[in-house]
Amino acid sequence: MRGFILSICVLFIGSSFGQTQKIKAYLDEKQFYAPGVGNYIEIQLQFVGYTFKYKPVEGGLQGEVVVRLDVKSADSIIAGDAFRLKTPIMKDSVIEDFYDLKRFSLKPGSYTLAIELQDINGVGEPVKAIKTFIIEDLSNQCSVSDIQVSEIITKGDANSVFYKSGYKMIPNLSTFYPAEISKLPIYFEIYNSAMIGDSVFGLKQSIVDGLTGKEIESSVSYTRHKKSEVVPILRSVDISSVPTGKYSLDFLILSRDLKEITKKSYEFERSNTVEMNLASTIFLIDPAFQSSIIEDSVSFYLASLIPMSRPSEVKNILALLKTKKNENARKYIQEFWMITAPSNSYEGWLRYKSQVLMVEKLYKNNFQAGFETDRGRVYLQYGPPTTVLQKDVSSSEYPYEIWQFNKIEKFSNKRFIFYNPDLVNNAYRLLHSDMIGELKNSSWQLVLNKRNSLNGTSDDPNQNVQPTYGGNSNENFKY
């Protein structure tokens, strides 16, 4: 599991010593194009329902959140919105996640999205996060929008913010699909296909293994389409036979003579094995495990398993945290380690516990436990880095750290760069990594040099990064 999956950003992950429960939300952005309007971006939000406070209303319970969105370019606010969003009415104490979506028309270039969330009924400071993204020019060539996977697709309801091409599409902001999900409802748009120079064009669909680069033969299909200014594609992709692993769902635009025109991909993770039912009621607690976890730290240590858990296991952990049943939490921790380290489960747990306490000491800040931070998560997931380069003072760059790993599983010489744009609170964030499945940010130098740089272009996001004394992060990252 990683701090955020591909374009999905975890705004906050709660549960730490003595801290008030923080609200949680997930963020994704998708780029589209509208003839006569131009390029635009959809900011998609999924609010984790159980992290909000609710008040009784007629028919059940309802919460409310203040949302502020600011899209910035070169430190100037280009677009934004601020509004109050009421949750759906929750009935019978069944708290579900809820969603929202905002669209902004933007010119091609690099941008920073700043988001702030405040629970109206809750206490504490607002939750804040930032994310960079690039708007590509989709207007002057045959091009493809981002690929959207939906939770639910229904016809009609043109008044809904989720309405597009005759359908209401509730976005799915996860890129992990367990065994019980067999199909992906996907939507994307193809623009300016007339520029191909023929009346028709081809669309190839395939699923490619992320490690081997080979196509799954049964996933390959071809369809033919008539040219148009906008060609919407809505279909269900069968992943029932896709085994556990990391994959790319690829769509390739082809001319009549099978020449490749352009390509768009959607990366996802698949688990196609039956998950064990951890923390079962018949499971007996080992006294050694019980004595190793003091009563007021059970939730902390249960949540500390998240960095080394698969997405399906994270879902189990979050559900268990919600119940606040310490006995089941202890059972989960014990059985988790019996599966993870069957030959020496207790010793394996004690080693991991010591690492959790170490990252708590080194990386915690005012609003996150150590294992919740990006540095803590990477350390617990991949182990200690081989080398660490720290740069605390620079005339042009934010404080940063570069972690280099000689070996991570099958991969060699992988790097992570963390930076601290707030300059306080020890709140270093993952900015870029060349490890598969981790955040890849083509404009990471631009972000790191934000204090003395203007934005670059979509072709070269870092073209305006100014060389200054001490500003050698690119060389440090390479070597």
Read off the pLDDT of each residue in 151-160 and give the average, rounded to a whole number.
84
**Which range (17-26, 406-415, 460-469) has the least confidence?**
460-469
Q: What is the pLDDT of residues 270-286, one digit of tens each?
A: 877 544 455 444 456 67
* Torsion from C-alpha of 244, 245, 246, 247, nearest 10 degrees: -60
**Which range (20-24, 86-90, 392-396, 399-403) has the least confidence?**
20-24
Band of pLDDT at residue 14, cut at 50, 70 and 90: very low
Q: So what's the pLDDT on residue 305?
A: 94
Tell me the pTM: 0.56
Which of the 8 DSSP states describes residue 392? Answer: -
Contact (CB, 8 A) for 111 and 73: yes
The percent of residues in the chain predicted with pLDDT above 70, rounded, is: 86
Sign of CA dihedral 132, 138, 139, 145: negative
Band of pLDDT at residue 189, cut at 50, 70 and 90: very high
The number of residues making up the chain comes to 479
Contact (CB, 8 A) for 113 and 70: yes
Q: So what's the pLDDT on residue 138?
A: 92
Band of pLDDT at residue 192, cut at 50, 70 and 90: very high
- Would you give the distance in Å from CA 406 to the centre of its chain? 26
**Which range (160-169, 308-317, 433-442, 458-467) has the least confidence?**
458-467
Band of pLDDT at residue 56, cut at 50, 70 and 90: very high
Q: So what's the pLDDT on residue 477?
A: 57
What is the residue-averaged pLDDT of the chain?
84
Strand partners, 170: 152
Q: Which structure tokens are listed for 238?
A: 């069968």
Contact (CB, 8 A) for 446 and 97: no
Q: What is the pLDDT of residues 328-338, one digit of tens each?
A: 888 889 888 88
Read off the pLDDT of each residue in 394-398 and give the average, rounded to a whole number.
79
In the predicted model, is pLDDT for residue 132 greater than 60? yes
Cα(17)–Cα(389) distance, integer angstroms: 30
Q: So what's the pLDDT on residue 245?
A: 82
Q: So what's the pLDDT on residue 451?
A: 58
In the predicted model, is pLDDT for residue 206 greater than 60? yes
Contact (CB, 8 A) for 333 and 344: no
Cα(128)–Cα(125) distance, integer angstroms: 9
Measured at the alpha carbon of residue 186, what is the angle toward residues 115 and 150, in degrees to the nearest 5?
Answer: 45
Read off the pLDDT of each residue in 26-37 and give the average, rounded to a whole number.
92
Contact (CB, 8 A) for 377 and 453: no
Q: Which structure tokens are listed for 91?
A: 């009935």
In the predicted model, is pLDDT for residue 15 greater than 80? no
**Which range (42-46, 88-92, 200-204, 407-411) has the least confidence?**
407-411
**Which range (39-43, 213-217, 231-235, 392-396) has the least confidence?**
392-396
DSSP string over 171-200: E----EE-TT--EEEEEEEEE-GGGGSSSE
Q: So what's the pLDDT on residue 6?
A: 29
In the predicted model, is pLDDT for residue 101 greater than 90? yes
Q: Which structure tokens are listed for 225?
A: 């389409």
Read off the pLDDT of each residue in 180-203 and give the average, rounded to a whole number.
91
φ/ψ region of 66 (left if φ > 0, alpha if ψ in -120 to 50, else beta) reads: beta
* Higher-confidence position of 364 and 93: 364
In the predicted model, is pLDDT for residue 311 greater than 80? no
Q: So what's the pLDDT on residue 92?
A: 67
Cα(220)–Cα(63) distance, integer angstroms: 45
Q: So what's the pLDDT on residue 309?
A: 86
Read off the pLDDT of each residue in 109-130 and give the average, rounded to a whole number.
90
Band of pLDDT at residue 345, cut at 50, 70 and 90: confident
Q: What is the pLDDT of residues 414-466, one digit of tens each?
A: 999 999 988 778 889 999 998 888 888 878 888 888 756 554 443 444 455 44
Cα(350)–Cα(356) distance, integer angstroms: 10
Strand partners, 221: 205
Q: So what's the pLDDT on residue 181?
A: 86
